[in-house]
Amino acid sequence: MPSSPDEAVLDRVANPHPDVDLVVRFTCPEFTSLCPVTGQPDFAHLVIDYIPDRWLVESKSLKLFFVSFRSHGAFHEDCTVRIGKRLVERLAPRWLRIGGYWYPRGGMPIDVFWQTGTAPPHVWVPDQDVQPYRGRG
């Protein structure tokens, strides 16, 4: 178990279909990190979509990477963008986006979105379909 995101190793495997623009989605509905101010846990629902080029991320290593944030103090924006940038650095995908749908802290949810650019127009990229937090709405 990696003790921090910097120590976590993201393994990659060869894409068996590098000639095809396919969208790969990973959903982590129970992502946890620590608030850097209070030390209390923060929770998020992460959705990562990417179009691989030569590499796919190996899913077990991605899960262990996510777990490494459980003892890591960082703001929502930093966690979300750091995950996206780390995947881009390791995989060099044709396109990647991450949606971080964070549960309320102090009564206010914070959602963070980051992507590498525009997805190719011929590729079907489904909506992330995570409803905004409504509370008692």
Q: Report the catalytic residues.
A: 35, 42
Q: What Å distances lie between residue 131 and 99, 109, 111, 116, 127, CA to CA?
A: 12, 12, 11, 23, 11
In angstroms, rounded to a whole number, what is the distance separating the alpha carbons of residues 60 and 38? 30
- List Cβ neighbours of 103 (8 Å cut-off, separation of 6 or more): 42, 43, 44, 45, 109, 133
Place of tokens 């749908």: 101
How many Å apart are CA 10 and CA 87, to the nearest integer?
8
